[in-house]
Amino acid sequence: MTRQALPGNLHPDTLAVRVGIERSQYGENSEALYLTSGFVQPDAETSARRFAGTEEGFTYARTSNPTVAAFEQRLAALEGTEAAIAASSGMGAILMMGMGLLRAGDHVVCSQSVFGSTLNLFGKEFAKFGVETSFVSQTDIAQWQAAMRPNTKLLFAETPTNPLTEVCDIRALADVAHAGGALLAVDNCFCSPALQRPTELGADLVIHSGTKYLDGQGRVMAGAICGPSKLIVDVFGPIVRTAGMVLAPFNAWVVLKGMETLRIRMQAQSATALAIAQWLETHPAVTRVYYPGLPSHPQHELAMRQQSGLGGAVVSFDVRGGDPETARANAFHVINSTQVVSIATNLGDTKSIITHPGTTSHGRLTEAQRQAAGIKQGLIRFATGLEHIDDLKADLARGLDSLT
């Protein structure tokens, strides 16, 4: 195999299609898919050196695979980090991070508004192993500061959050973490490196669910951690090798190709989302719109600074309805009246997706917990895809117009 030699100082658009290419003897232009779990060794001596780590070379796909390595190199180039390591899913990446950084007696500070499975992983699963987590406000830095303890090893945030698109100040959180001798990890799923690069704002590690915008077409599960080589190679590499949350080569190949169109998708989907958010704000059946690109969003200015001036592709909104039952019936009516968009709980697809968080992602919470999280029964999440703006507005108007 020969690696394509690239000049320095290339722009992210170029890196997205050119980094990580190692051509086989056939000279294929599209990246090869090495769908193999084992690698034939030239002789027993070479095999022994590769297993001992004294010579580079592929041995077994739980340790490394050329297609997975290409995905890791390309994602690291886009995030601007020294290295990246792939995982079987976004949750697999967060598990790997916890296994690598935390031990019994350690403490974590985490936003209370992160992805539901992340709340469970820190709050329930890691707690079984003696790691305690304090959950604090997404937006109030003073709460993060107050939660710090001498044994705090990690701060974990996600911005913007799902489904209310709350934005936290990455640079301020990095300062809190570093003053306390801890690391800051940021889940960059909603913005992707096309809009936001957390390590440029001081974060130490970036978490990805490749299942969302990196693939971008709703096909496979994938995850990754991006960061400095001393953590990726020396700390997380041995965890994947031992614990096995490894990314399948086929999935790596799909996401590798997905990243080639990441920026143009994120820009197009953000532009459509902004137009939908602006239109929803004027609709009489809508009582509130949650979208970082709107001046009415509480962290609008911060979001515009952190996210390359774009709001991302997810818009949430409350439909009117006096009591929770009426609000839920109205939200269901809007969802059921659509004829184009998909009713599903995923996001980050080219196909727009409409969701009722109160009975799906947040359905297992008590009504009191939902109230505390700000998830009303009239809340709808709209993950904008690549359809024409007029068709999407018409699809939402079908249900909304009959509520007024």
Ligand X SMILES: *Cc1c(COP(=O)(O)O)cnc(C)c1O
Contact track, ligand X, 30-59, x by CB under 6 A: ------------------------------
Considering beta carbons, is residue 68 or 91 the nearer one to ligand X? 91
Q: Find all residues with CB under 8 Å of 230, minimum gap 6, and list them.
A: none
Name which of 400, 213, 218 is nearest 319 in CA terms: 400
Interface with ligand X, residue 361, by CB under 6 A = no
Which amino acid would we find at residue 174? A
382: β partners: 315, 354
Interface with ligand X, residue 353, by CB under 6 A = no
Minimum distance from CB of 149 to ligand X (Å)? Answer: 25
For ligand X (CB under 6 A), the number of binding residues is 14
Tokens of 100: 């690598």
Interface with ligand X, residue 189, by CB under 6 A = yes
Measured in degrees and rounded to the nearest 5, phi and psi for residue 65 equal -150, 140
Considering beta carbons, is residue 158 or 395 the nearer one to ligand X? 158
Minimum distance from CB of 227 to ligand X (Å)? Answer: 17
Please state, in angstroms and as integers, the Cα–Cα distance from residue 51 to each residue in 60, 241, 244, following that order.
Answer: 10, 12, 17
Stretch of 196-204, 206-214, 240-248, 301-309 contacting ligand X, by CB under 6 A: 206-214
State the DSSP code for 123: I
Interface with ligand X, residue 221, by CB under 6 A = yes
Considering beta carbons, is residue 156 or 279 the nearer one to ligand X? 156
Minimum distance from CB of 54 to ligand X (Å)? Answer: 35
Minimum distance from CB of 79 to ligand X (Å)? Answer: 15
Task: Give the CB-nearest residue to ligand X.
Answer: 90
Q: Find all residues with CB under 8 Å of 342, minimum gap 6, and list them.
A: 349, 351, 352, 353, 354
Interface with ligand X, residue 354, by CB under 6 A = no
Residues 65-124 that bind ligand X (CB under 6 A): 89-91, 115, 118
Considering beta carbons, is residue 176 or 221 the nearer one to ligand X? 221
Interface with ligand X, residue 162, by CB under 6 A = yes
Interface with ligand X, residue 209, by CB under 6 A = yes
Minimum distance from CB of 11 to ligand X (Å)? Answer: 27
Stretch of 20-28, 205-213, 301-309, 396-404 contacting ligand X, by CB under 6 A: 205-213
Tokens of 34: 């090495």
The single residue listed with the structure tokens 């949430």 is: 316
Candidates 138, 139, 159, 211; binder of ligand X (CB under 6 A) is 211
Please state, in angstroms and as integers, the Cα–Cα distance from residue 178 to each residue in 93, 154, 182, 348, following that order.
Answer: 22, 10, 5, 32
State the DSSP code for 169: -
Interface with ligand X, residue 188, by CB under 6 A = no
Considering beta carbons, is residue 72 or 187 the nearer one to ligand X? 187
Peptide bond into 357 cis (omega under 30): no
Interface with ligand X, residue 158, by CB under 6 A = yes
Burial of 54 (0-12, 13-18, 19+ CB in 10 A): exposed
State the Cα–Cα distance between residues 291 and 15, nearest whole angstrom. 30
Q: Find all residues with CB under 8 Å of 9, minimum gap 6, and list them.
A: none
Q: Which residues bind ligand X (CB under 6 A)?
A: 89-91, 115, 118, 158, 162, 187, 189, 209, 211-212, 221, 223
